[in-house]
Structure 1
């Protein structure tokens, strides 16, 4: 028998050990129907028509199209309390929940990043004192659920338009180092005329400590010499803020 004929009668796979690809698993019909109803309700009534667990479920099934995500959504809400608490939870804490892998984490963090970007765009380049609630919403989303303290500064021009929003320092669960000379230096570099100081309390209680009060006073004194105004110092807690200006500290 010729070699040519033998090869025709005994075809070999292109790669050794190659196997036919398994057909993709089908989504159970009850899951598909349930998701269709959720989508229709969302498109008709918006997010206000849906409780947190259903909105979270819609986010989660984008990360896994073949799995019922309702139990995982409820488990995440049981652990972190609210939709906002889930999407802002640290990755290490999210991974402690059974069923959370890289794709779930990526989807949640994408939602978090998008929310922060949208809220930031509502205040950057705007006259801050006339859009105060938008500023508070942004600070809450960006800082309220952090596990460690962060100190950031909002730099304003002569018309109180926000020209820069910059984290200045990161700290521990109850302390963040801030150096007035660095604050002044950066304000001069940006040609800022006014500042709003912001930091968070991971405990959730925005009541300022004596260290917060002392640090604020030092920054006000250092910037005042150069004619730079400190409009406020906001301490961000979970769902609430403490305003030094409103409470008579400034």
Structure 2
């Protein structure tokens, strides 16, 4: 049995279709030209993924892999958000390609995060939602994050506090308030995701939210909102009159 190569990119060759140089080189050049001329909107999801795969897999036809990734994870965003172990289950994906995909995801999250930090939350509310969706909507486990706001409702910091299971994340009101004090926050926004796809708050979500609001208020910290993120949808407990 032949040993797998440790050279970057070569571990991803299994399952890919070799093409004559003129074929794959011409296809790649045409795809790049379409992207440069029309941006991402000019390309289908699988074609955007091809551009990402070019970074790790040279001299191969990567279209079949891009289509398998979309089929497995449902969308371009779903592919980027997939965990490394999940990506490795797709034929043709090795360590180098998985790393390239996760690098693009990390860059996108950093870009979205910088669009909300040090900006008034009410004037950038859609960007806040966009960031939360990018960071959490496709996660297969529940995750709890906190946005910390100053006295002018500017976001001064954001952090992941807990990661749980597919349907539960442990949240400790005292720890939430403690972190808010350490960050010098005047108010906070709590965010967590529902991997089920339904953003409707559970009884436990509502009870926990009220506990945090009460504990924070005793120390002069306001709970501005609690947002639940699901794929394509979200729920605001404040908007629902539950805070």
Determine if the TM-score, normalized by the shorter chain, exceeds 0.5. yes
Q: RMSD value over aligned CA atoms?
A: 1.3
Give structure 1 stretches of 5+ with no counterpart: 1-24
In the TM superposition, what is the alpha-carbon distance from 1:207 to its structure 2 partner?
1.0
Match of 1:139 in 2: 132
Structure 2 runs not aligned, ≥5 long: 1-17
1:161 aligns with 2:157: no
> Superposed, which structure 2 residues align to 1:187-198 within 5 Å?
187-198=180-191
TM-score after normalising by structure 1: 0.88
Whether contact under 8 Å (1:27, 1:65) holds in the other structure is no
Count how many residue pairs are aligned between Structure 1 and Structure 2. Answer: 226
Per the alignment, residue 23 of structure 2 pairs with: 30
* C-alpha distance in 1 between matches for 2:102 and 2:41: 22
Using the alignment, how far apart are the partners of 1:41 and 1:199 within structure 2? 38
Give the Cα–Cα distance (whole angstroms) in 2 for the partners of residues 135 and 72 of structure 1: 33
How many angstroms apart in 1 are the aligned matches of 2:48 and 2:182? 44
Higher RCO, 1 vs 2 (CA within 8 Å, ≥6 residues apart): 2
Give the CA deviation at 1:26.
9.8
**Rg larger in 1 or in 2?**
1
213-222 or 52-61, larger mean C-alpha shift: 52-61
Secondary structure of the corresponding residue to residue 188 of structure 1: helix
Deviant stretches of 4+, over 2 Å: none
TM-score by length of 2: 0.90
Q: How does 1:12-31 map to 2 (within 5 A)?
A: 28-31=21-24
**Aligned counterpart, 1:106:** 99
* 1:81 is the counterpart of 2:74: yes
- Secondary structure of the equivalent of 1:235? strand
Q: What residue is the counterpart of 2:3 in the other structure?
A: none
How many angstroms does 1:188 deviate by? 1.3
